Structure 1
Amino acid sequence: MTLSRRTLLTGLAAGALALSGLAAFHEPASAQTVIRFSNWVPPTHPVSTDVIGKWAENVKEATEGRVEIEVISPLGNPPSHIDLVQNGVADAGFIVHGYTPDRFKLTEGPELPFLADDSRSASIAYWKTYEKFFADAGEYDGVELMGLWVHGPAHFFTRDKEINTLDDMSNLKIRVGGGMAKYVAEDLGTVPFFAPSSQSYEVISKGVADGIMFPTESVYNFKIGPAIGQALEVPGGLYRSSQGIVMNKAKWDSLSPEDQEAIRGVSGLAMAELAAKMWDEQDAIGKEELIKGGTNFKTADGELLEEIKAKLSVEEDKWIAAGDGKVDRKAALDYLKEQIKAAN
């Protein structure tokens, strides 16, 4: 039997519509939301691969492919990323709070010296403290905070000068990133020198700066090690940098409640644990590799450690006294310390 041309075309059209509907039902990716993530960190750095990249995978899995994080080349310099995200130039981004210290003040509490010997306990405690004390203070107005954490304890690294006394630090030019690191550098009698992390090797190797205060991981992963001859580890750390991921508020609000809930499930505390795992593992790897490369490590103890603690004791009091009444900073810091102990 032969079908008429009209009947054949009608059948083909109906079949196409049926297949189209079936494909739309089985392929949610066709209606997926893409979140453009501006990333200024080198693509091979563990922050990119093990934190941002892993979180992107977790978001896609949690939303069953409806939401994807597209990591793109940076749309501005590191300090500008909070504004880039707020203004919608980027949908999301990684921020370091110390790069814009005038905007973030509460974040300096978890950055204080001597709080923890690792990233994990400090980061878990930080997120819980944020939820209990900081969330309503308005520091993230205009963006949606996905998560925050602190890197591992920062130590004192110099090109060639071994530090045996506090006087050995006097007037050394030390690269810092701003915020608590800058305050600590000044308290110790050094001269703070600001330069992007990516330029640290250059300024130290050429003698423009004498050294850096950084977590061990970053000295290694930013490839500063060949310029570093001496490392002074300070128990509890000289500071720890507060960092996080933010999303544009309008972009976040455009997501369905279902997808928002799914993303929250892999953000917040889960993100703090994810980032902290990376920092702690990389600190251990970094130290091993730096020693192999010839860096001499020693630990501050005895009189030197007591002198460092005495010099830096002012920072806790300063942070508490600088409160504007929105947050009980003393209670928040006490809670943070309790949670650090509980996480160990």
Structure 2
Amino acid sequence: MIRILKSATFAFAVSALSLSSAAAQEVTLRFQHFVSPKSANPTYFMQPWADKIERDSGGRIKVELYPFMQLGGKAPSQYDLIKDGVVDGGWVIPGYQPGRFPEAEAMEMPFMVPKNGEEASKAAWIFTQKHLMDDFADVHLITAHMHGPGIVHKKGAPISTIEDFSGVKLRGPSRAATLLLKKLGAEPIGMAVPAFPEALSKGVVDGGVITWEMSPSLKLDELTDSHTDVYGSKSLYNLYFIWAMNKDVYAGLPDDLKAVIDANSGFAAAALAGRAHDTGDLEGRELMAEAGNDIAQLSEDETNKIKALGDEVINEWIEEVTGKGLDGAALISDARAAVQVTEGTAAPIK
């Protein structure tokens, strides 16, 4: 009897130890992105996010960040790499796969969002919750966000009139951006960001549209001569991003570790990501100016001419997606409504 009791006690102790070990399990999550680790989002969003996940989990979750697609694949395939479990999570530009996530394009329309990335990102999350959760149902969506203002960077003199776009070969990051560039008379070339510097150096493009914050890591101080923004508070173009992880990896976490991910998701994470871009924009613009490059802004009149063409892009997009069974007008209306909620809510970056 004593032997049986001892055996039962030992078995219980082993079981308790196993449960304790399971509760204290450590998880390593491999997240991948496609830019320099020194650029704004990895510096001011991804790494702080990873560090906070580790702190909040008591060290039980470690997030490893891999820049430049070091775990394999190309930037346009990032969504599927996450979905298929090739990586545990990462940064995705849905627009790199034109037509796959058409509803997300509403947020990317010309002059849709503020030049402030934090405010644009908050609006993106509001819009995402209403329209895009089903679109991204085969991954675990952590947050969605946008960057700061899209700037025209090019070799030679800055853009000063709408006519200056004529025949200029410009890199475009998304369908919405390339549609606008085409309306402006430019020759748009769709291209993921990692390919942009080489395309510039080899003369494949004369310039492109991208943010201030990406300029230093892409060496645009050396590869371009001028940088042109539009007049006013709205961005010429913007890009919609998601930060996501593999659905099965998330589902396999213990409930308390899922809670750590959840607590660092959604609206607050969107704001943090957008603010990261705003911080980088200030630094990037300053570095381009220090390099002696021309920093220019189009006049209100010239900007209004571009806005008119932007409205054409929006109207044609509404017609196109409505023909595919979506309510294009409602998507644009809801995108604008989300922006109205968040515009003016960001505190200045010191």
Give the direction of change, closer, same or farther, for the CA distance of 1:330–1:240 in structure 2 (3 Å limit). Answer: closer
Matched, 1:172 2:174: no
Q: Which digits, 9 at most, give the CA deviation of each residue in 1:272-300, with x for residues without a partner?
A: 12111211111111111101101111111
Match of 2:5 in 1: none
Q: Which runs of 4+ in 1 moved over 6 A?
A: 21-24
Match of 1:142 in 2: 138
Alpha carbons 1:155, 1:213 under 8 Å: kept: yes
Distance between the aligned counterparts of 1:71 and 1:204, measured in 2? 28
Give the direction of change, closer, same or farther, for the CA distance of 1:40–1:156 in structure 2 (3 Å limit). Answer: closer
Question: Residues 163-202 of structure 1: matches in 2 within 5 Å?
Answer: 163-202=159-198
Give the direction of change, closer, same or farther, for the CA distance of 1:135–1:166 in structure 2 (3 Å limit). Answer: closer
Distance between the aligned counterparts of 2:246 and 2:153, measured in 1? 37
The share of aligned pairs that are identical, in percent, is: 26
Match of 1:337 in 2: 339
Match of 1:314 in 2: 312
Match of 1:116 in 2: 114
Q: Which digits, 9 at most, give the CA deviation of each residue in 1:213-266, with x for residues without a partner?
A: 111111223222212212211132211111121111111111223322221111
Alpha carbons 2:36, 2:217 under 8 Å: kept: no
Q: Which digits, 9 at most, give the CA deviation of each residue in 1:178-219, with x for residues without a partner?
A: 322212211211111233323323322333211111111112
Match of 1:276 in 2: 274
Alpha carbons 1:39, 1:74 under 8 Å: kept: no
Match of 2:236 in 1: 238
TM-score by length of 1: 0.86
After TM superposition, give the deviation of residue 63 of structure 1 in Å: 2.3
Match of 1:288 in 2: 286
Q: 42, 45, 53: which is aligned to 2:39?
A: 45
Distance between the aligned counterparts of 1:144 and 1:155, measured in 2? 32
Q: 44, 51, 55: which is aligned to 2:49?
A: 55
Q: Higher Cα Rg: structure 1 or 2?
A: 1
Query: Gaps spanning 5+ residues in structure 2: where?
Result: 1-8
Q: Which amino acid is the alignment partner of residue 299 of structure 2? A: D
Q: 67, 79, 93: which is aligned to 1:96?
A: 93
Secondary structure in structure 1 of the residue aligned to 2:49: helix
Distance between the aligned counterparts of 1:92 and 1:302, measured in 2? 42
After TM superposition, give the deviation of residue 61 of structure 1 in Å: 2.0
Alpha carbons 1:143, 1:247 under 8 Å: kept: yes
Give the direction of change, closer, same or farther, for the CA distance of 1:50–1:302 in structure 2 (3 Å limit). Answer: closer
Of 157-166 and 318-327, the range deviating more from structure 2 = 318-327
Match of 2:3 in 1: none
Q: CA RMSD in A?
A: 2.6
Query: Gaps spanning 5+ residues in structure 1: where?
Result: 1-13
Distance between the aligned counterparts of 1:215 and 1:309, measured in 2? 19
Q: Which digits, 9 at most, give the CA deviation of each residue in 1:30-52, with x for residues without a partner?
A: x1222222333223323223222
Q: Which amino acid is the alignment partner of residue 83 of structure 1? A: D
Distance between the aligned counterparts of 2:333 and 2:199, measured in 1? 40
After TM superposition, give the deviation of residue 28 of structure 1 in Å: 5.8
Distance between the aligned counterparts of 2:136 and 2:245, measured in 1? 10
Secondary structure in structure 1 of the residue aligned to 2:205: coil
Match of 1:3 in 2: none
Q: Which digits, 9 at most, give the CA deviation of each residue in 1:161-189, with x for residues without a partner?
A: 33222111101000122322212211211
Match of 2:76 in 1: 79
Distance between the aligned counterparts of 1:157 and 1:40, measured in 2? 20
Secondary structure in structure 1 of the residue aligned to 2:171: strand
Give the direction of change, closer, same or farther, for the CA distance of 1:318–1:258 in structure 2 (3 Å limit). Answer: farther
Matched, 1:33 2:27: yes
Q: Which amino acid is the alignment partner of residue 38 of structure 2? A: T
Q: Which digits, 9 at most, give the CA deviation of each residue in 1:81-117, with x for residues without a partner?
A: 1111111111111111221122111221111222212
Q: Which amino acid is the alignment partner of residue 224 of structure 1? A: L
Alpha carbons 1:154, 1:238 under 8 Å: kept: yes
Distance between the aligned counterparts of 2:45 and 2:177, measured in 1? 23
TM-score by length of 2: 0.85
Q: Which digits, 9 at most, give the CA deviation of each residue in 1:105-150, with x for residues without a partner?
A: 122111122221210111111112222x2145x2112111111100
